[in-house]
Every structure is written in structure tokens, then in C-alpha cells.
Amino acid sequence: MSNDTFTAFKNTLYRELKRMVSRPIYFISTFVIMTFCYIFFLTFFNEGQPNKMPIGIVDLDNSSLSRQFTRNLEATQQVKVVMRLSSHKEAREEMQRGNIYAFVEIKRHFSNDAITNRRPTITFYVNDGYLIAGSLISKDITYMSAATSIGMQRKILRAKGLDENRIKGIIQPIALDTHLIGNPWANYGTYLLNVILPGMLQLMVLLMTAFPIGVEYKQRTSREWVENANHSMFAALTGKLLPYTVIYTVLGVIGNILLYKYMHYPLNSSIGWMFLATFLLVVSSQAVGVIFIGITPVLRDGVTFAGIFGTLGITFAGSTFPVEQMPTGTRIISDLFPIHHYFNIYVDQALNGVAIHYSLISYVIMLSFLILPFFVFDRLKNAAISQSYPTK
């Protein structure tokens, strides 16, 4: 950087810092919103896994066996029997009201039928309209139902005089053990927060790149901005955006520390790699933000598109629904979102802890986003000088 450019850069930087303290929007969109997001998501998901979700039971038998079953259900982690209902219809209505996510139906003569080998059925109904609640509850009720059946089996086989080893082989010939790579607790907060917090960060970075640039055009100060930077678009942009790079990187790193050190989410590699990824997420999002405001140097359009892109980014990251299972072509589009590459790094490094060379490509792609702003330098400069764009 030549001396001239450096002076220009410094002037722009001071100018921007002055602007930043002039209106509260700058403070709100950086510290206030990110702090709110951290507090919100960490307190919202602090359970990690939704526990003790309400279910109902329709116990028409009311025998010691059926009551035992209810007690066993109560003992599972994710289910809580909150109401006893007298009929299927009543239970279904409670489900439609949203008061319970599932109910178990135990028929009349259940206990009697079980003792006399008439194979009574336990039926449970799960509301998968609430998919997460439904599938977690379903898992626990299935487990308890199977356990009840197995208990009965064991009783019968013992009565027949079989030895314990035999019985074990009959009851469960093939045991299945499931290993969750990197996240042994299947903590739901882990799935979400590792994407949502950086997702929020990139959204705010995108908006707060389009905004501080666009507002110059809107307030007709863009000429002054460029002239102050000695007509160097490079100095004008770097000087303007550096404060945000610093602020959002610091906020992002705080986010990483909260996730990996405070919440102890899985981190199977050095936290430094996540810091680097966070920094690159900030600068690559800034680069994309410059493109948006560069295409239409109209503040309102710039922030609208940046906002839409940022919101979509959370979908395209690929955590909630894997990108490769989305329609063809989506995969290519997802590569245009810096957060998608951040997510890949998170999976490789924090979750799976694989060697760093697997993630190298993601770091390089994020870095290469920095080429983008150069394409709109001329456009931004001409628009800044001519100030011919609508302010509305």
C-alpha cells in the first residue's frame, strides 16, 4: 500500500468512526442485536434436548400392569404423562389443542390378556406435525413398549426353564449400538446453535455492509466519501468496512467461546480453526454485501437483498435439511453462501475433528470471496461521484 492510499485509508476510517457514533443504529445492529441473539439462543436451548414433553394416557384397564407401564413411561427422559384420559376421542382432542404431543392407549383386559398369552396390543399415537417433539417422544414410548414386551418374554422363558444366556440370545439376537460421531449426547442445541449463531452474525454483517455504504448514496455524501479517500475505491471501502470487520470478528469469536468453552459443545480440533473460520465468514460476507450495494447503489434495495440473502443463508448452510437432499442445482447455489463453507468447516473441525487438509478447500473458497468487490469498484465509484441514483 502506497503512502497516499494509506493516508486515504486512515482518513476514511476516522470519518466512518465519527459516523458510527452519530446514530444509535450502528450500536444496535452490532452489539445490541448480537448480544440479544447470544442471550436468546443460549437461554432458549439451555436444556439441550426437550425433556419431559407432555403426553396423555388412555388406560382403560387400570390394572397393576398398566399402571406399572405408565410409571415406567414417567421414568423416561423425554416423556411426562400429564393427563389421564377416558377415551380415544378425548385424547385426540387434547392433541389437537396442542396440550399433549402423544398418547398411549391401553385396552380393557390388557393385564388379563397378557397373563393368558392373548397378546394384547399397546397402541400409541404420536403427533408428527410437531416433528421434533414427535420423533423424540416416539423413541421413548417405543423403547418402553419394547421393554415391557421383553420383560414378559423373559418371564415366560424363565418359566420354561431356559438358562439366562439362551434367553438373552432369544430376546435380542442382534443388538444394535449406535454411535454418534462427534456429538455423543445428540444434543439438539448443538445442531442448531452451531449454525444459527454464525448465521445471525453473517446476516448482520451483510446488512451492516450494505447499510453504511448505501447510506452515503442516500444522504448524497458519497462524493465526499470518495474524495476523502483520495478517489481510491480500495481505501474508501477498506477504511469504511474495517471497523465492522473488527467488531463482528470480536463478536463472532465471543460466540465461538460461548459455544465451545461455556456450553462445552463438541470441539474435536483446535478452537483456533473456528476463530479463523469466523473471521473469514465476516470478511467474505462483507465482500458479498459490497456486491449487493454495488449492483444497485440504492440503500433500500441493497439492504433488502442483503437481508434476503442473509436469511436464506441459514437455510443453505445445510444444517436443518441437508443441502445435498435439496433439488438439483441447489447445491451449486449453496456454494455462493459463505455460511455454507463455514458450516463445512464446523462439521470437519469442531464436530468430526478430521485433519485440517480436508477443510483447506473451504477456507480457500471463503477467502476467494474477497475478489468479488473488485467487480463493482467502478460502478460504486461512478455512482458515488455522479450521485444520480434515487434516494428512495
Partner 1 sequence: MPLHKKIISILKDILNVLKIEFQTMFRDRGVVIMFVLGPLAYPILYCSLYKNETLIDVPIAAVDCSRSPQSRELLRHIDATQNVAVISKYGTLAEAKEAYNEKKVHGVVYIPADFSKKLATGDQTSVSIYCDISSFMYYRIINQACSNSVLAMSNQIQVERLNANGITGESANVISNPIPYNGVILYNEGAGFASFLMPVILVIILFQTLFLGIGMIAGTSREENRFHVLVSSSVHRGGTVRVIIGKSICYFLMYAPWAFYALELIPRIFNLPHIGIPFDVMMLMIPFLLATIFFSMTVSVFIPNRETGIVIFMFMSLILVFLSGVSWPQSNINGFWRAFAWMYPSTCGVQAYMKINTLGADLHHISFEYISLWVQSLIYFATTCWAYHWQIKKTSKKQLKEDVVTIHI
Asked if 224 touches partner 1 (CB under 8 A), the answer is: no
Q: Considering the complex, state which of residue 1 and residue 355 has its C-beta at the smaller distance from partner 1.
A: 355
Q: Considering the complex, state which of residue 153 and residue 230 has its C-beta at the smaller distance from partner 1.
A: 153
Q: Considering the complex, state which of residue 2 and residue 178 has its C-beta at the smaller distance from partner 1.
A: 178
Q: How far is CA 254 from CA 29, 247, 378, in A?
A: 16, 11, 36
Contact 30, 248 (CB under 8 A): yes
Q: Which of residues 92-121 bind partner 1 (CB under 8 A)?
A: 93, 95-98, 101, 114, 117, 119-121
Measure CA of the first residue to CA of the last residue in the chain; give whole Å: 36
Stretch that binds partner 1, among 11-19, 135-143, 220-228, 235-243 (CB under 8 A): 135-143
Report the distance separating Cα 3 and Cα 9, nearest Å. 10
| Of 2, 3, 64, 165, the one binding partner 1 by CB under 8 A | 165
Asked if 25 touches partner 1 (CB under 8 A), the answer is: yes
Asked if 269 touches partner 1 (CB under 8 A), the answer is: no
For 205-228, b/e burial (b = at least 16 CB within 10 A) is: bbbbbbbbbbbbbbeebbeebbeb
Q: Considering the complex, state which of residue 14 and residue 40 has its C-beta at the smaller distance from partner 1.
A: 40
- Mask of contacts with partner 1, 300-319, x by CB under 8 A? xx-xx--x--xxx-xx--xx
Give the position of cell 400409541.
124
Helix (H, G, I), strand (E, B) or coil at 284: helix
Q: How far is the CB of 115 from partner 1 (least distance, A)?
A: 10
Asked if 123 touches partner 1 (CB under 8 A), the answer is: yes
Question: What burial class does residue 246 get, using C-beta atoms within 10 Å of its C-beta: 0-12 exposed, 13-18 middle, 19+ buried?
Answer: exposed
Q: Which of residues 189-208 bind partner 1 (CB under 8 A)?
A: 191, 196, 199-200, 203-204, 207-208
Q: Considering the complex, state which of residue 257 and residue 326 has its C-beta at the smaller distance from partner 1.
A: 326
* Residue 388 φ/ψ, nearest 5 degrees: -100, 0
Give the position of cell 396390543.
121
Residues binding partner 1: number (CB under 8 A) = 115
Stretch that binds partner 1, among 22-30, 227-235, 254-262, 278-286 (CB under 8 A): 22-30
Report the distance separating Cα 96 and Cα 128, nearest Å. 12
Q: How far is the CB of 369 from partner 1 (least distance, A)?
A: 21
**CA-wise closest residue to 67 among 104, 115, 121:** 104
| Of 8, 33, 241, 383, the one binding partner 1 by CB under 8 A | 33
Q: How far is the CB of 70 from partner 1 (least distance, A)?
A: 14
Determine which helix (DSSP H) or strand (DSSP E) holds 212, and give its type and residue range.
helix 188-218
Task: Give the number of other Cβ atoms within 10 Å of residue 370's Cβ.
Answer: 14
Report the distance separating Cα 151 and Cα 48, nearest Å. 31
Q: Which of residues 361-380 bind partner 1 (CB under 8 A)?
A: none
Contact 302, 214 (CB under 8 A): yes
Q: Considering the complex, state which of residue 114 and residue 235 has its C-beta at the smaller distance from partner 1.
A: 114
Q: Which of residues 45-64 bind partner 1 (CB under 8 A)?
A: 45, 47, 50-54
Q: How far is the CB of 315 from partner 1 (least distance, A)?
A: 6
